[in-house]
Amino acid sequence: MAEEHQQGSQTGGTSGSQTPAFDFTKMLQQFQIPGVDFSSIVERERKNIEALAEANRIAFEGWQNLVRRQSEILQDSMKRAVEDAKNQTALKNGAELARSAFETALANMRELAEMAAKSQRDAFEVIRKRVEENMNALRGKKSDDGQKQ
């Protein structure tokens, strides 16, 4: 696999982290249309793509954290179950053990739901800001002219 990556680098292949060398602005400049600023269009689309990439990064990291936490919860639950199985008094207090396990499960589900919601809010906020910038640009305002909410 490392050899394939090296060969791709030597033959001019691009990886996901590199931007292509193609410049759309130069290509579009040959199509001179009065009143159309192609460089601003390309710049706007570049910012849109960057915002989308940032939102995706935030969402991906959020889901990674969620999966990591689910794994921790599973490990803790399994450890607790093994300890309870070894403990003879746990058999006598089955109802209390079941109630405690249920409350822990609810708390864990709530925590995971909050983590997922936060990740989605953070990713959405990036996109919302970019849409707001686009709307302000259409109205003729600069991005720093918009009111912060």
Q: How far apart are CA 15 and CA 31, in angstroms?
A: 30
Whether 6 and 12 have beta carbons less than 8 Å apart is answered as no
**Domain regions of the chain by residue span:** 38-139
129 — pLDDT class (breaks 50, 70, 90): very high
Q: What is the rounded distance in angstroms from the CA atom of residue 51 to the CA atom of residue 115?
A: 21
pLDDT, position 60: 93
Q: Are 133 and 143 in contact (CB under 8 A)?
A: yes
The pTM for the full model equals: 0.58
C-beta of residue 55 within 8 angstroms of C-beta of residue 123: yes
- For the cut 70, the answer to whether the pLDDT of residue 82 exceeds it is yes
Choose the weakest-confidence range: 23-32, 37-46, 90-99.
23-32
CA distance 125 to 145: 18
Q: What is the DSSP letter of 22?
A: -
Is residue 106 over pLDDT 70?
yes
Rounded to an integer, what distance in angstroms lies between the CA atom of residue 63 and that of residue 58?
9
pLDDT for 97 equals: 74
For residue range 15-28, list pLDDT tens digits in order. 444 555 566 666 66
